[in-house]
Chain A
Amino acid sequence: MSPSWSKSRNAFEPEDHSKIAYLWQKRFGIPVQAFANFCFYRRAQNVWVFSDAALPKLSYETVGLRMMNFKEDPWKPTSCAIQVFGRHATKNAVHLTSEQARIFFAGRSQVLKANVEAGYVVVSYTGVVLGCGLCSHGKLVSQLPRECRISSDAEMDI
């Protein structure tokens, strides 16, 4: 049952842990144990990941990090959650060269042959997880939010 303080329209409701962990395991092969010390909350179409501490009765603007949204099918992971949990991914992950990483950081799309299922992927470069990408029809489209992009190649030393 939802706690009494979460009745307002914008409240964060506790979300089923196994359901969310299973979705990430199914898509990225991330073991459910990777989420063992975290809990999930849902507000509208978004799921948030938070530490396993009890939340006191307060009105919240955010709870931990926004992890994914269900606005569209398939659900979309956020780049900040991919940066935290993506290192555990065993599938639907792509590894870029330095030139490809530049294009990804610029927020652009590029032709990429990768052995992945169509949809959202974990994007890495030299073992470092950069964020979320969308693979479809032989292309990788950067999903980095605007504030995480570097538009000028000249300014980037990766």
Chain B
Amino acid sequence: MDHLQRYQEIIPEYDVFLSFLDRPLPTSVRINTLKTDISSLLDRLDRSSIAYTCLNWYPLGLRLGIERPGKMIEHILGYIHIQEEVSMVPPIVLDPKPGERILDLCAAPGSKTTHISQMMDNRGLVIANEPSLARITSLRSNCERLGAVNVAITRYDGRRFPDQQFDRILVDAPCSSEGMARKDPEVLSRCSLKRSLDLLVLQKGLLKRAVQLTRPGGVVIYSTCTYAPEENEAVVGGVLGQFRDMVSLEKVSVPGLKECSGLSEWNGIEFGDDLKNCARYYPHQNDTGGFFVAKLVKK
């Protein structure tokens, strides 16, 4: 927890924020419309007497009153996917359309990849890139279980992904994962400023490559599950500086979900006012994990 004190000035109601970290994360799932539909799935849950609440901000999201949804038939058959509620935001903001060419640059374990696939109704092309062979196993198994036919998996270092042009790219970057502390409190013991600064180099490389691979008029979403401005605004601001005339930042806001604006400065470093267009999601504002989302549009 000590590590989080550096965010005392930027996180509103900091004491409430801390108190939420001790609460278990609600079990949330996404309904997979490649295999079922909302009413059929809810009928099944009703028949099995499984308690659920529909998310007020997203019709395909549910909170379940069950501890181990991984054992549910609905999960094994791929009707639902266990996914942290706020991690459904990046694909929603990416807004992929059926038939488009999409790149998910850091794809494993595939929660967002398969979300994108279902938003495209299994049409078009989703390249799911993941450099780690070990992590490709979970990515592939989720694609198979959920019936994602329009996903092809590649294994490049994302910073050197070969020349191609995509309509939309998601960079859900490797990060220090501070926002996952409700799920795994141990995660904070691995966080430090040095680690964030090391990750910043990788994250900038990934985002820079994504901008290069996006067609004019295309969209890049950059997201992390961490609070560290070094891994968020500093990355986006840095890449924006490199592509000043080619890229603009659009406001990220999902109706029904409370967010805080991105930071325009941190510890005396100016990122610029347009970084306020990014969204910061804190656990106590929506009873979720923590997240950061930025939307870059290529001119």
Contact = CB atoms under 8 A, between A and B. Distances in A.
Interface of A: 37-38, 49-66, 78, 80, 83-84, 105, 128, 130, 147-148, 150, 155-158
Nearest to A78: B144
Interface string B26-39: 00000000010000
Interface of B: 35, 48, 71-73, 76-78, 99, 101, 122-125, 127, 136, 140-141, 143-145, 147-156, 162, 164
Contacts of A157: 48, 72-73
Given A58-B164, A60-B154, A62-B152, A150 B76 contact: yes
A55 B154 CA distance: 12
- Secondary structure type dominating chain A contacts: mixed
Contacts of B150: 50-51, 53, 64
B71 A83 contact: no
B73 A156 contact: yes
B144 A66 contact: yes
B149 A51 contact: yes
A38 B125 contact: no
A61 B145 contact: no
A156 B125 contact: no
Contacts of B73: 105, 150, 156-158
A60 B140 CA distance: 12
Contacts of B71: 150, 155-156
B154 A84 contact: no
B154 A59 contact: yes
Nearest to A101: B73
B155 A80 contact: no
B82 to A, nearest CB: 14
The list of the 5 closest CB pairs from A to B, nearest first, reads A51-B150, A53-B125, A80-B144, A61-B153, A62-B153
B43 to A, nearest CB: 12
Given A53-B125, A58-B164, A130-B77, A65 B153 contact: no
